[in-house]
Amino acid sequence: MSKQLKSLYIREWGKIHLIKEDKDFKDYTNIDNIYINSKSWEQLSKFANSDKKDNRFLRLHNKNTLKVQNFVGVITTPDGTQIEILPKIEDKASSESAGKSRKILAKMLRIVNNLDFIETTKASLQIQNKPIPEILIGWFLSCIDIIVKKGIRKDYIRVARHEKFLKGQLQLQKQVNEPPHHQHLFHIEYDILSPNRAENRLIHSALVQISKWSRDNHNQSLAKHLIMLFDEVPLSKNYLSDFAKWSTSRDMNYYQSALPWLKLILNQQSPFTLKGKYAGISFLIPMEKLFEKYVAKILASKLNNKYTLTEQKPQKALAYSNKKAVFNMRPDIVVSHKNREDIRLVLDTKWKLIDGKSPTPIYGKDNNHTIKQSDMYQLFAYGKKYKVKRVILIYPSWSKFNKKLFYKFDDNLSLAVIPFPLNPAPHK
């Protein structure tokens, strides 16, 4: 009998504690502190002690405590413990913190991944009460539901049959070797129109996997319904081979939105995936990168068509050594005139809750709205190397930072520090 999935949630920089006693975790758990058993702890502590920097989404805080870093997503340990890691969008935790964080994370993931098929309906209001895995599963199922409504693609495949009626191509060699008492049967090959193609095999396999992971009644019901519609399609026997056969032809355009979901579900493409009998969906995203892409998507949608936005391009060298460029600079976002290499703005994003309401800085003091001096150096270098008049530093907006801050480097270069709303108007 399989173990019941235990769902926990925590936000960035929260602490995961080892608890040995068999107690009700809910009595101890809040959004900044969760308690897990020794089996889950053993798995997670391996990542905290790993030599690979990419695995350091956790740090060992003390002997019995792990500290989450600035990653968000989901981790499912082999014993069935599922941990949501949510973004930290406010300083102090409240009873509504998890719901707000989950809703904002879901919106950021939707916009960054171009999930345009997701409508803002009453159902979306329930997002804050659902775990992130169930939200993602719901999105995947919605994606497949749209594909089904547009039509499950079929293709002609060659089949070999031994039948009473002659059709298609007779296989003479096999027929000649047929014993006399079977001469009334024909060895034939012919083409049939079938849904048995790589894309549908992968979808069917993913639906079966999702039906095992989900604990949500609506998701389970929709998954079972979709599995029935793919009943004629066999499960994929080789994911790698079927992904290689994935068609990008024009008549398969409406299938393309499913591809990243299938890779996540079937390949578990995450460096942090934990394998095991009870392992479910696992993925982690650096919050710094997610925020950067989120800002870029929102700004690009609002940009005048005379301008173009690029991410981490063009690159420029900070210095040269023996005439070779060294220390390449890659600002997060660059806005240029569309028809020329005329760079107008350089923008950099930082995922940090700065204090825009702290007192005005005094010369010689370190109180500069909690903005790092190294970030100021970085923006100054961008401004000089890219030869722009203004550079922009973007932080998430929150209760203590909701108004722009302005700085002047010199007569030719200024800096605007801008609060970026995490819950803007619906993306179109």
The tens place of each residue's pLDDT in the chain, 428 residues long, gives 344 557 889 999 999 998 866 555 555 678 999 988 888 888 888 877 776 665 578 888 888 899 999 889 888 877 778 899 999 999 888 778 888 898 899 888 888 876 654 443 334 445 556 788 888 888 899 999 999 999 999 887 776 666 666 666 666 677 667 777 666 676 667 666 789 999 999 999 999 988 988 888 999 999 999 999 999 999 999 999 999 999 999 989 999 988 888 887 886 544 344 444 445 667 788 899 999 999 999 999 888 888 888 888 877 878 887 777 778 888 999 998 876 678 889 999 999 999 887 665 555 455 578 888 899 999 999 999 889 999 999 999 999 999 999 999 999 999 999 999 997 554 44
Note whether residue 297 is domain-resident.
no
Same domain, 104 and 235: yes
Which residue among 238, 254, 287 closes a domain? 287
Other residues' Cβ atoms within 10 Å of the Cβ of residue 43: 19
Name residue 310's amino acid. Answer: T
Let me know whether 104 and 217 are in one domain: yes
The conformation of residue 180, written as its DSSP 8-state character, comes to G
Statement to judge: residues 161 and 176 lie in one domain? yes
* pLDDT of res. 238: 92
Position 275 scores a pLDDT of 45
Q: Which residues contact 121 (CB under 8 A, 6 or more apart)?
A: none
The token duo for 13 is 């920089």
Q: Are residues 165 and 112 in the same domain?
A: no
Same domain for 143 and 173, yes or no, is: no
In a domain, 366, yes or no: yes
Query: Is residue 293 a part of any domain in this protein?
Result: no
Q: How many residues does the chain have?
A: 428
DSSP states of 201-213 as a string?
HHHHHHHHHHHHH
SS3 of residue 198 by DSSP: helix
Biggest alpha carbon distance in the chain? 105
In whole angstroms, give the CA distance from residue 167 to residue 192. Answer: 12
Q: pTM for the complete prediction?
A: 0.78
The answer to whether the peptide bond before residue 314 is cis (omega within 30 degrees of 0) is yes
Q: Are residues 202 and 190 in the same domain?
A: no
**Whether 227 and 272 share a structural domain:** yes
What domain range includes position 374? 303-420
How is 302-362 classified by DSSP, letter by letter? HS-TTEEEEES-S-EEEEEETTEEEEEE--SEEEEETTSS-EEEEEEE------TTSPPP-
Give yes or no: residues 147 and 168 share one domain.
no
Q: Are residues 49 and 162 in the same domain?
A: no
Query: Does residue 84 sit in the same domain as residue 178?
Result: no
> What is the total count of domains within the chain?
3
pLDDT at 234 (0 to 100): 94
The answer to the question of residue 246 being in a domain is yes
Q: 226 and 174, same structural domain? A: no
Q: Tell me, what's the pLDDT at 358?
A: 65
